[in-house]
Amino acid sequence: MSTLAGLSTNPWIRLFRLDRPIGTYLLLWPTLWALWLASNGFPEIDILLIFFVGVIVTRAAGCVINDYADRNIDGQISRTANRPIATGEIKPHSALLACVFLLVLAFCLVIQTNYFTVVLSMVAVVLMTIYPFCKRWINFPQVILGLTWGWVVPMSFAAVGHNISFVAFALYLSVVFWTIAFDTLYAMVDREDDIRVGVKSTAVYWAGNELRHIALCQLCSLILLAYCGHQSGRGWAFGAGIAITAICFVRQLRLANSREKSDCLNSFMNNHWVGMCIFLFLVLDYCMID
């Protein structure tokens, strides 16, 4: 227990969010969806390992970029006030050097795939860099986050050796809508602070009607997932996974209806189980049909 406590107080562990793996889970699950669909249920072990490690590394790099961009804001937000760049535990230039190291490591992973995937990874870095600054410029930074988060889908299809098909594009959009939904729930936790310091988000822009917009995004995500399943020949097991996901979404909306910070945070956290549910039922479907 003391070792775990020590890890959680280490500023580098906190900067990379290794003590809070929810973001890694939320990026890993759609990556696995895409790899399974792209490989027709039989992804190669080396590709799985590349993307598994890549998710951890790129998520850590994204957190560093985000905290560097928000270093003058995080101290004014109750949830982020203890982030290590904001507190001065890690100097901004040291964080940037760490980010460069992580991106080089990620590049070493992606060059083991193919040229198209490498090109797509460059786009991912651009999106990752742009997103944190969008919170100052536009009312919908969650859309940019969704476009960034979902980029694992075309990269996964490319790594397996496929062109970007309609299924890949539909899955990408599904992840985009899902990300907008769960990050709006997350942004509801910080809404009061964000309004005070001038940070923009869908939770601020949609205030009062945010749950309707979240529900619409979740519905779009489910419809697109169902389309992917139909086009790829999936059966009742995958359909059952989508049905259970719909129930989870309803539960999230009912819980967040209180607008209490803890309820909104728990609604956001529930999306880990959503991602896992889709993946497990997708694997089950391939096992039953193939």
pLDDT tens, residue order, the chain (290 aa) = 344 445 568 999 999 999 999 999 999 999 999 999 999 999 999 999 999 999 999 999 999 999 999 898 888 888 888 999 999 999 999 999 999 999 999 999 999 999 999 999 999 999 999 999 998 899 999 999 999 999 999 999 999 987 889 999 999 999 999 999 999 999 999 999 889 988 999 999 999 999 999 999 999 999 999 999 999 999 999 999 999 999 999 999 999 999 999 999 999 999 999 999 999 999 999 998 65
Which tokens sit at 27?
């990026």
Domain edges within the chain:
2-289
- The reported pLDDT for the residue numbered 289 is 66
Q: How many CA atoms lie within 13 A of 95 on its CB side?
A: 28
> Is 2-289 in CATH node 1.10.357.140?
yes
CA distance 174 to 205: 22
Q: How far is CA 278 from CA 26, 158, 272, 282, 284, in A?
A: 12, 21, 10, 6, 10
CA distance 108 to 286: 31
* pLDDT tens digits, 213-257: 999 999 999 999 999 999 999 999 999 999 999 999 999 999 999
Q: What is the pTM of this model?
A: 0.94
Catalogue the long-range contacts made by 106-114 (C-beta closer than 8 Å, 24 or more residues apart): 106/54, 106/57, 106/58, 106/61, 109/50, 109/53, 109/54, 109/57, 110/50, 110/54, 110/155, 112/46, 112/50, 113/47, 113/50, 113/158, 113/159, 114/158, 114/159, 114/161
